[in-house]
Amino acid sequence: MRILVTGATGFLGRAFVRQALDAGHDVCALVRPARALSDPVSPARLTVCRGTLAAPPWEDLARFEAHSCVHTAWITAPGIYPESAENDRYRAESLAFLGGLFERGLDHAVAVGTSAEYRPSRVPLDEARSPLDPRTRYARAKHELHLALAERAAGAGTRLAWARIFQPYGVGEPPERVCSAVIRRLAAGERMTLDTPNAVRDWIHVDDAAAALLCLAESRAGAVVNIGSGVGRTVGSVALAIAGLLGRAELMVTRPTEPDPLGPLVADPTRLRGFGWRPRVELEVGLASLIEHLR
């Protein structure tokens, strides 16, 4: 299978490229001219096309003749992305790029959405029944892109899978993300107090998330699909697990707990499991691997 990937130098995109190549697929990575694509597993099956969403190398992409496009490119800088104006740019450029692929005959695509499109709920979130309530600029841009892409895909006869990713973590994540930030602080002997210890999230290892995207591409899914484990853990419990693995539990500072300011975001992964996907990386195992990598 020939798969075109955007965002191939990013956290999730890199993991996807590795897994797709490992599985024997041919991969074309759309990479900005100044970016490097690191450690490909099977370079003989990897094609790098230099360009951007705004200025795609259409002739090179046409020669690759992709069977599917997996679109992971977006702004994800921790602390910046939720309300950044870059979200609006990525929405517009993503629609123009994927719409251009649809017009040129691409008949399948997987685009990455976010769990933040949902209204938080005490029960697992279901693709068909759970209400949507995108509250941040990031979540609204993702939701608006989904609506526009679905319309363009229907008009072009293209199957579109919209993958709502929950809380990915693992090797390669930005250093400011929760797990890496906790590891670095505690490993340096610094005390740490969490801002939102009671926030309940669905933590999924990046390799499991990438495997889910590959499953959607291989099965040519045409639906909204949650990419999550189905298990909710508080930020505080994850931080304490990290502290235990590091032997630095005394550095975690407790304070009067406050309720989750947003509310729980936990996936119902039933639909994803219907495509044959199963999570492989337990949280503690994934955290231990991240600790070892950062050390």
DSSP states of 249-260: GGGBPP------
- Over residues 145-171, the mean pLDDT reads 98
Structural domains for the chain: 2-170+203-229+266-280 (3.40.50.720)
Given strand 26-31, what is the order of strands in its sheet?
46-50, 26-31, 2-6, 68-71, 108-114, 159-165, 224-227
Q: Enter the tokens of residue 180.
A: 């890496």
Encode pLDDT of 198-207 as tens digits.
999 999 999 9
Q: Check: CB of residue 284 under 8 Å from CB of residue 245.
A: yes
Category of 88 on φ-ψ map: left (φ > 0), alpha (ψ -120 to 50) or beta = alpha
Give residue for tokens 């955290």: 287
Task: Answer yes or no: are the C-beta atoms of 288 and 238 closer than 8 Å.
Answer: no
Interstrand relation of 200-205 and 232-234 (parallel, antiparallel or unpaired):
antiparallel
- Residue 41, pLDDT above cutoff 70: no
Q: Determine the Cα–Cα distance for residues 205 and 39; give it in Å rounded to an integer.
A: 20
pTM across the whole model: 0.95
Tens digit of pLDDT for each residue in 60-101? 999 999 999 999 999 999 889 999 999 999 999 999 999 999
User: What is 43-102 written as a DSSP string?
Assistant: GGGEEEEE--SSS--HHHHHHH--SEEEE------TTTGGG-THHHHHHHHHHHHHHHHH
